[in-house]
Structure 1
Amino acid sequence: MAIHDLLDRLRRDYAALNPQVERIDALLAEAGEHVVHDHIALRTWGDPRCDIEVLARPFVRAGYRAAGAYRFAEKRLVARHFAHDDPDLPLVFVSELVLDQFSPGLQDMVRSLLAQVPEAEFAAPDLCARGRPWQIAHADVEALRRESEYAAWLAAFGWRANHFTVAVHALARLGDLATLDEFLKAHGLRLNTAGGEIKGSPAQGLEQSSTVADVVERRVQRRHLRGAGLLLRVRAPLARPRRPAVPRLHRGLGRQDLREHRPEVQLVTAARRPKAAPALR
């Protein structure tokens, strides 16, 4: 699969789950802007059949290279970001849950989910875009959420983009984040004001803001009711960061994305276009 086709597939799937995406893109197009995606984020389990290396394979084969590594001790995650020499291609962040740092119950549940995946599917070049190939009960998603929001999101949504981002610094007329925020509010979009409308600072190399999440639905199984379904409600905001004129990767970008997640199972969106690789964390 060509890399542009894979990115387009991930983007279309993401937009289908996030109604705000197409609306914001349309508003920006009407304003004479061309949307550039700064980065995308993918999530996976820390299992050798589907870990970071496995999900990153189609990107590496297309010329992406590993450019940064991160560890988020509090969330029990590790991550890498991959960059391409083509400036029109977004950065790709892939993170994974460090399973052996969680309870035996969570590890058993993840093993039961992955046991439902045919072995051949782990070798699929588009594994990162295959969605959720397992069945899971709502009660199990809630049990995972009590221990890890990340695990609950991944169990409910599977392998797909957790977020795409808009590079505000690449916009021609609305390249100032505060100006863009006012533009979106004027068109009826609400911003997430927790911690202030704009998070970060020029000194940190990253500023970002996000809209209030849409509500989307995922169907999971209701335990003990054969064939019945329960809708898991999932929220998904759109974030728009701004970088300085000479951008650099904010060391805390991945951490910020994770910290901004609310306790509910949710999708998030962020954005950025750095020129330099992040420091190893």
Structure 2
Amino acid sequence: MNTTKLLSKLWEQYAEITPSAKKIHDLLERKGEEIKNDHIAIRTFNDSRVNISVLERLFLELGYEEKGEYVFESKKLFAKHYEHTTDINAPRIFISELELEKCSQKLQETVNTILDNCDQSTFSNPELVICGSVWESNSQEIYNQLLEESEYAAWMYIYGFRANHFTINVNALKDFDTLQDLNAFLEDSGWKLNASGGKIKGTPEQLLEQSSTLADLHMVDFKEGSLQIPSCYYEFALRYTMSNGELYQGFITSSADKIFESTDVKLQSI
């Protein structure tokens, strides 16, 4: 699999449960914009069978290299971001993992059982990153149990390995000079934004501003009945020039912390 095919598959998988992203994409294209992708984010657990070291392999083979590490203490997450070594148009990749050892014993046992019950050869699939939920994920009881402690863990249980969000490169847009302008356009068009920590996370001084929609609601069929669960969201990133004249390429932990909440159940009712 080459980079183009992988990114295309990630988008297809993402758009299937995030119809708002395709609608926003099409809306901007009708305005004459060419959409470029800033980064794609992927989630996992830090279990050695599925951790960052496992998911990064495919990207490393395709020419990506690690560029930064990030710690999210309150959410018990660790993350890395990657950039392509030769293709400047390739999106950055952001992979995060839930640090299970920092979670309750009950959550650790639940995740371990979920992974133990899988066909273990599944984790050797070089394309695991696009395999979705490779475990049985039809128990609302397990979902709710995970949700009590970690929105992230509950999301992973339902959706598994896939792009958690794509991100529009605002710098590449012609008719939107600021993120405020884009946000206003999206809200006027009926989209609801993640307001946790403010609709815009980050500042020009931090060299990165980000905003995002709230995750779409996707109907999930549990054995106890059907329920709408937040799926994925669309992010928007505006990068600023550093003192050396180059655009800032990394991420701001405090901003990303709030962006993660775009999939939180509690934000859907605000």
TM-score interval for Structure 1 and Structure 2 normalised by the shorter chain: 0.7 to 0.9
For the residues of structure 2 that align with 1:135 and 1:187, how far apart are their CA atoms?
38
Aligned to 1:169: 171
Aligned to 1:264: 264
What TM-score comes out, normalization by structure 1 length? 0.85
Secondary structure of the residue aligned to 1:135 is: coil
Gaps of 5+ in 1: 223-228, 268-281
Change (3 A) 1:194 1:173: same
For the residues of structure 2 that align with 1:258 and 1:198, how far apart are their CA atoms?
13
What TM-score comes out, normalization by structure 2 length? 0.88
Contact 1:204/1:250 (<8 A) preserved = no
Structure 1 segments of 4+ aligned residues over 4 angstroms from their partners: none
Secondary structure of the residue aligned to 2:211 is: strand
Aligned to 2:222: 220
Secondary structure of the residue aligned to 1:199 is: coil
- How far 1:219 moved relative to its partner? 2.5
For the residues of structure 2 that align with 1:266 and 1:158, how far apart are their CA atoms?
20
For the residues of structure 2 that align with 1:213 and 1:263, how far apart are their CA atoms?
5
Q: Does 1:95 align with 2:96?
A: yes
AA matched with 2:255: Q
For the residues of structure 1 that align with 2:61 and 2:164, how far apart are their CA atoms?
22
Secondary structure of the residue aligned to 1:96 is: strand
Number of equivalent positions: 260
For the residues of structure 1 that align with 2:215 and 2:192, how far apart are their CA atoms?
9
Change (3 A) 1:39 1:251: closer
Note the 1:1-281 alignment, pairs <5 A: 1-85=1-85, 86-136=87-137, 137-222=139-224, 229-234=225-230, 236-245=232-241, 246-249=246-249, 251-253=251-253, 255-260=254-259, 261=261, 264-265=264-265
Secondary structure of the residue aligned to 1:241 is: strand
Identity across the alignment (%): 37
Compute the RMSD of aligned alpha carbons: 2.2
For the residues of structure 1 that align with 2:176 and 2:35, how far apart are their CA atoms?
11
- How far 1:208 moved relative to its partner? 2.0
Change (3 A) 1:151 1:21: same
- How far 1:195 moved relative to its partner? 4.0
For the residues of structure 2 that align with 1:99 and 1:213, how far apart are their CA atoms?
24
Gaps of 5+ in 2: none
For the residues of structure 2 that align with 1:88 and 1:211, how far apart are their CA atoms?
24
For the residues of structure 2 that align with 1:107 and 1:197, how far apart are their CA atoms?
33
AA matched with 1:99: L
Secondary structure of the residue aligned to 1:87 is: coil
- How far 1:173 moved relative to its partner? 2.4
For the residues of structure 2 that align with 1:24 and 1:263, how far apart are their CA atoms?
18
For the residues of structure 1 that align with 2:168 and 2:263, how far apart are their CA atoms?
24
For the residues of structure 2 that align with 1:211 and 1:101, how far apart are their CA atoms?
29
AA matched with 1:97: L
For the residues of structure 1 that align with 2:192 and 2:208, how far apart are their CA atoms?
21
